[in-house]
Amino acid sequence: MSDTAESFHGHAHHAAPAPEGVTVRHDWSLAEVRALYQLPLLDLVHKAQTVHRQVFVENKVQLCSLLSIKTGGCPEDCAYCPQAARYKTGVKAEKLMAVPEVLAAATQARQAGATRFCMGAAWREVKDGPQFDSVLEMVRGVRALGMEACATLGMLSESQAKRLREAGLSAYNHNLDTSPEHYGDIISTRTYDDRLNTLNRVRDAGISVCCGGIIGMGESVDDRCNLLRTLANQEVHPESVPINALVPVEGTPLAEQHRIETVDMVRTIATARLLMPQAMVRLSAGRMQMNEEAQLLCMLAGANSLFFGEKLLTTGNPEYTQDMALLEKAGIRPLEPRQDR
């Protein structure tokens, strides 16, 4: 492994050993994960909250902002994604945003309390050239604001991962989406190994890994558990694990999927917390469909990061004022921006 533990300075990374009584494993069986997931809900949440408070003593929530810097026109066929060019979803292909425009959005997000700024581009893979150079400039600009910089740009080569690290990228998001067994029903234009290989390149470059998945895509409980098992059995756990609920979009193959039950979302978050106790578990897409009580239950189950802002790439997200009001009512404090970046 690279010098990740020494070189990454974001909120999401825990280089120190786990607290006494908290076990970090990389050898979970599917049966073990399923047994956790299917515990009586209150028992599962209690176990997850106990571990969570042992690791995250202050129990603060990190606020993240996500901006689509290049929207639509993607050649992939991800069945959930309105940005795929082959689906008629009303999302128009747009050019890469200009660097000053992105940094203005990052500045606004920081002023609103975000400590991580994520930039997403609807690409299958990164291509060297002026556009990638612009992304590197965006990363440098976000870091200069004192924020963690995260990017999700598709597949990366080794040299591209290294250049992103040199620019100061804190984390790279590349979700596995679902289990290896269910993956072929969701995506055919990229293999599961393609995703794992990109994660390895990110890790080897010394960049923090942000990797999670989406539930509610017609997968079984075993698929859900196997996704979490695959993440937890990595040689190093992802420092950041976004848990998304499918937002069905008209025009995509999954448009008719029923909305996931809150209990399923809570079970997935709690199980992720128990399997990867030191990760930031991020409550991501699907929050607009949740009431306040559901969101608080997800936080009780171990979610300690929220994406805020009116949009989450191309789907709706609760407005900033609603998020702040919810945190204030619940007495939950956000993580402050770090001063050492």
Binding site residues for [4Fe-4S] cluster, as ranges?
74, 78, 81
Annotated catalytic residue: which of 78, 211, 225, 298? 78
List binding-site positions for [2Fe-2S] cluster.
118, 150, 210, 282
Asked about 298 being catalytic, the answer comes back as no
For the chain, what is the radius of gyration of the CA atoms?
Answer: 18
Annotated catalytic residue: which of 64, 116, 143, 150? 150
DSSP for 190-234? S-HHHHHHHHHHHHHTTPEEE--EEE-SS--HHHHHHHHHHHHTS
Question: How far is 250 from 1, CA to CA, in rounded Å?
Answer: 43
- Reference 239, options 268, 214, 212, 210; nearest CA is 210
CB-CB neighbours of 220 under 10 Å: 11
Question: In one letter, which amino acid is 269?
Answer: I
Distances (CA, A) of 285 to 4, 242, 248, 307, 313: 28, 9, 11, 8, 9
Annotated catalytic residue: which of 110, 201, 229, 282? 282
Annotated catalytic residue: which of 64, 74, 225, 298? 74
Asked about 81 being catalytic, the answer comes back as yes
Asked about 225 being catalytic, the answer comes back as no
CA 2 to chain centre: 22
> In this structure, are residues 303 and 243 in contact, taking their beta carbons and an 8 Å threshold?
yes
Asked about 143 being catalytic, the answer comes back as no
List binding-site positions.
74, 78, 81, 118, 150, 210, 282
> In this structure, are residues 174 and 121 in contact, taking their beta carbons and an 8 Å threshold?
no
Question: How far is 157 from 144, CA to CA, in rounded Å?
Answer: 25
Annotated catalytic residue: which of 64, 116, 118, 229? 118
Query: 140: alpha, beta or left, given left = phi > 0 and alpha = psi -120 to 50?
Result: alpha
Asked about 64 being catalytic, the answer comes back as no
Question: How far is 280 from 208, CA to CA, in rounded Å?
Answer: 11
Asked about 341 being catalytic, the answer comes back as no
As annotated, the active-site residues are 74, 78, 81, 118, 150, 210, 282
